Amino acid sequence: MTAKPTIIDCDPGTDDAIALFLALSSPELDVRLVTVAGGNVGLDRTTANARAVVGLTGRAVPIVAGANRSLLADFRAETAVHGDDGIGGVVLPEGPPLAPGIAADAIREELRRAAPGSVTVIGLGPVTNLALAFATEPALLDRVAEIVLMSGAWTEGNITPAAEFNAWNDPEALAMLLNLGARVAIATLDLTAQAFVTPALIEAMARREGGACWRAALAIFRALPTSKRFGHRGFPLHDPCAIAWAIDPGLFGAKSAHCAMDLASGPSRGRTVIDRWERLKLPANVTLMETLDAGRFFAMLEDRVASLP
Ligand code: RIB
Ligand code: CA
């Protein structure tokens, strides 16, 4: 198996942290670069969290800071879920310093070094950094194997009734990515709801021995609030689903679909209008993850993250 050269853009973020642990413990992915945006919390905290998480794994992956606002407006944080520090109050050792530069430039430099069609680009937050990179140098798309996003919803949103948090925080950036002509695999809220973490699951996972990363992951799971949307029975684990697709798409049921963005101001802004039943007869621009084998997903997550230092 040849590991996939991978770039991860994120806004850690509790579920981003778990996603980074999963990516950095998986031999299928050769994580070449982690870029960071604001989003769940401000860029000062998301960068500190990315440094701490990557540092805990012991992996020498460059971390580069990027956008602290969307293309058109400020980000709106989600501290009610992730805490003021963005990591659920879990205290981690300070990580390595940021690599110099700006995320969009670092993404382009990494793509420029890559072989044609070789790089998996994963977006776990507002995709401002990715949009800026490809808008500046669209020819670099020929180095990309696939773009994988945690974003959007085909039913209701989680930051407004219509929109999911990442899509809503920079809908123009997401619209740009969806119209690049690249293959974009998308894990929406409807998919991530199937990666559902309950108190019983956390306690079952806690019986697994592991190192500092696994203990940090368990502490994050225990810090996450249960979701009102799910009757406080637990919470959906969003970002690791995008990583899992890049590791093993066989965990998913998926189909091609057309996805349009609602960019109008007003209550539907940021909505991903996903045509699952081809009613508009428009060309597909996403690979839509529809189902997840949750048992295999959580077993993989536990095996991989528990294997970290
Ligand atoms: O809506 C969930 C998404 O928004 C996740 O990526 C979470 O980390 C937040 O960024
Ligand atoms: Ca995120």
- Sequence spans of domains, the chain: 4-306
Whose atoms come closest to the Cα of 14: which ligand? 1
Give the mutation target among 10, 11, 151, 186 for probing the ligand 1 site: most ligand atoms within 8 A of CB. Answer: 11
pLDDT (tens digit, 9 = 90+) per residue, 79-100?
Answer: 989 999 999 999 999 999 999 9
Residue of the nearest CA to atom 10 in ligand 1?
125
Gap from CA of 220 to ligand 2 centroid (Å)? 14
238 is catalytic: yes
**Per-residue pLDDT for 112 more than 90?**
yes
pLDDT (tens digit, 9 = 90+) per residue, 141-184?
Answer: 999 999 999 999 999 999 999 999 999 999 999 999 999 999 89
Asked if 118 and 32 touch (Cβ cutoff 8 Å), the reply is no
Residue of the nearest CA to atom 1 in ligand 1?
165
pLDDT grade for 1, boundaries at 50, 70 and 90: confident
The Cα 82–Cα 132 span in angstroms is 26
From 82, 232, 238, 258, active-site residue: 238
Strands 286-292 and 144-150: unpaired
Cβ 9 under 6 angstroms from ligand 1 = no
Cβ 40 under 6 angstroms from ligand 1 = yes
Whole-number average pLDDT of the chain: 97
Give the mutation target among 49, 124, 160, 229 for probing the ligand 1 site: most ligand atoms within 8 A of CB. Answer: 124
Cβ 238 under 6 angstroms from ligand 1 = yes
The strand ranges marked E within 96-246 are 119-123, 144-150, 184-187, 196-197, 235-236
Whose atoms come closest to the Cα of 165: which ligand? 1
For the chain, what percent of residues have pLDDT higher than 90? Answer: 98
The Cα 96–Cα 58 span in angstroms is 10
**Per-residue pLDDT for 114 more than 90?**
yes
pLDDT (tens digit, 9 = 90+) per residue, 241-277?
Answer: 999 999 999 999 999 999 999 999 999 999 999 999 9
> What DSSP line would sit under 218-234, residue for residue?
HHHHHHSPPPGGGTTS-
Cβ 32 under 6 angstroms from ligand 1 = no
pTM exceeds 0.85 = yes
Task: Look up residue 42 and give its amino acid.
Answer: G
Cβ 35 under 6 angstroms from ligand 1 = no
Atom number, ligand 1, closest to the C-alpha of residue 126? 10
Distances (CA, A) of 138 to 69, 142, 182: 22, 9, 10
Which candidate, 125, 126, 130, 135, places its Cα nearest to that of 110?
130
User: Is CATH 3.30.365.10 the classification given to domain 4-306?
Assistant: no
